[in-house]
Amino acid sequence: MAVYLLAYYFIIWIYFLIRHGMTEETKDEQFIAELKVGTNMEKVTLSDLSMTSCVARVTFNVRPFQVAILKLYENNGNGQVSAFKPIKSTIESFTHKKSDPKAYYAKIKFNDMVKASQGLVQLIHVRKNTKEVKKDTSIPVHKNSLRVVSVSCRMCSQKRIPFLVLQSRSMLTKANIFEVPSYVEAIPGRDFCDYNLIRIAVCPNCYFASSYESDFEKESGKKSLLKAPFDKEAIVEQWMQNTSERKKLVESQLKGFFDESRNVKQALVAYDLAIMTNDAIFKAEEAKDIRRRDYNTARKSVFYQMFKAELLMTNNQPEEAQKLLKETTIRLEEIFPYLDNEPSIRAGFLLGMLNLYFEEYRKVGQYLTFLRSFNQDGILKEGSDEYKTLMTNTKKLDEAFQSREEYSKAKLLRFQKPF
């Protein structure tokens, strides 16, 4: 019976390939699925497939807001067709095409975050991720979801520091209320990796630490022509004279600290080192020339603190996480007036969410007003990336403010979104 079923689906697959013109050039953009709306059910072709929606060609009547059940299929070759678990969806809209008057083209929105077992990850991410970046074979890495880049330290010239990079489209992520990602599961064929544990690369000699590859010197056979993104001369002497404090943080837990097996406790130390590194750079540049203060450099420390807070919370240390968020709020409020353009938009959103979490609603209103009035002079071109960032962050903060009780620390067990 199973053999006949597989053969039937394979015939359906070929039929749709021929009928709907899925040529060699377009086969990666169209997919086969089974769609059920009410009592109607048929095999359909999908286009514009993403992790949140798709467009389906159907031959029966549909209307907006109807509940739909979508089941994806994948042709694995050799007559093998696999079916994935169904996706609960909603018909969002539909159109007709003059070139195809007998069909409706329905836009379908997926109701929940799609899991790997429902097929989207395989059909979208695996197919598109055919061109892999080669790993640096001089430094071993065991998880196939990672690649390693060999870098050297700009401070002490230590070589062969492994900078671990997450392979494109290898993990499903979920953002918390502050838009810090957590890693949910690997796509099929990839090894799971909690990249938040290992995103910080650390020099084993002077303990310079960063999650930005450009902060290191890339080893590629030739000396990098990229200028350091910070004033090395302003900091290097003092940095190299004060390694003892940083060494104490690391020396008690060396095993696995510098590679992909780093654990939560070690990751927290790595974030501390990154914050120390970044703060030292900012203060050294400020001491050399106050006019050269780069508040975007200072904002990187906020970035590290937010990731550290997420790790503390997921490691059942809520009091430490909340204390760190308080410190982060104060730090970001101090530099916020000096930021401009997109960094100020993102900082305004984050400060709004931080104050929402701590039930400082008056301050939330101030940051929401800041975002709403940011483009009142039309300085941002509609459709530009910066404009989209403003619109997205304003909408997210506004929606969260409308449901403010659900976002308070008293209500949230962790930092995960309540809806």
Predicted confidence at residue 25, as pLDDT, reads: 31
Exposure on the CB side of residue 218, measured as CA atoms within 13 A: 13
CA distance 62 to 235: 65
CA distance 105 to 410: 45
Other CB atoms within a 10 A radius of the CB of residue 254 amount to 10
Predicted confidence at residue 143, as pLDDT, reads: 93
Predicted confidence at residue 79, as pLDDT, reads: 41
Q: SS3 of 96, please?
A: strand
For the cut 60, the answer to whether the pLDDT of residue 101 exceeds it is: yes
How confident is the model over 128-155, as pLDDT tens digits?
Answer: 443 344 444 457 789 999 999 999 999 9
Q: SS3 of 336, please?
A: helix
How confident is the model over 11-38, as pLDDT tens digits?
Answer: 444 344 334 333 333 334 567 788 999 9
How confident is the model over 363-400, as pLDDT tens digits?
Answer: 999 999 999 999 998 889 998 999 999 999 999 999 99
Alpha-carbon distance values, 94 to 65, 99, 109, 271 (Å):
11, 15, 12, 49
In what helix (H) or strand (E) does residue 293 lie, and over which residues does it extend? Answer: none
CB < 8 Å & 24+ apart, contacts of 313-317: 313/414, 313/415, 314/182, 314/414, 315/264
CA distance 371 to 400: 14
How confident is the model over 38-85, as pLDDT tens digits?
Answer: 999 998 888 888 778 889 999 998 999 999 999 887 654 434 455 678
Query: 20 is written with which tokens?
Result: 């709907």
Predicted confidence at residue 271, as pLDDT, reads: 98
Instruction: Give the closest residue to 43 by CA, choosing from 83, 95, 97.
Output: 83
Q: 25 or 316: which carries more pLDDT confidence? A: 316
Average pLDDT over residues 264-277: 97
% of the chain beyond a pLDDT of 90:
52
Predicted confidence at residue 272, as pLDDT, reads: 97
Domain ranges of the chain: 2-128, 146-339
For the cut 70, the answer to whether the pLDDT of residue 223 exceeds it is: no
CATH class of the structural domain 2-128? mainly beta
Q: How many helices (H) and strands (E) does the chain have?
A: 11, 14
190: amino acid identity, one letter: R
Predicted confidence at residue 116, as pLDDT, reads: 56
Average pLDDT over residues 168-184: 91
Average pLDDT over residues 83-93: 87
Predicted confidence at residue 117, as pLDDT, reads: 58
Give the pLDDT band of residue 237 (cuts 50, 70, 90). confident
For the cut 70, the answer to whether the pLDDT of residue 259 exceeds it is: yes
For the cut 70, the answer to whether the pLDDT of residue 186 exceeds it is: yes
% of the chain beyond a pLDDT of 70:
81
Mean pLDDT of the chain: 83
For the cut 50, the answer to whether the pLDDT of residue 163 exceeds it is: yes
Length of the chain: 419
In what helix (H) or strand (E) does residue 108 lie, and over which residues does it extend? Answer: strand 100-110
Q: 275 or 130: which carries more pLDDT confidence? A: 275
Predicted confidence at residue 10, as pLDDT, reads: 46
- At a CB cut-off of 8 Å and minimum separation 6, what does 309 contact? 180, 321, 324, 325, 328, 415
Instruction: Give the closest residue to 278 by CA, choosing from 255, 302, 257.
Output: 302
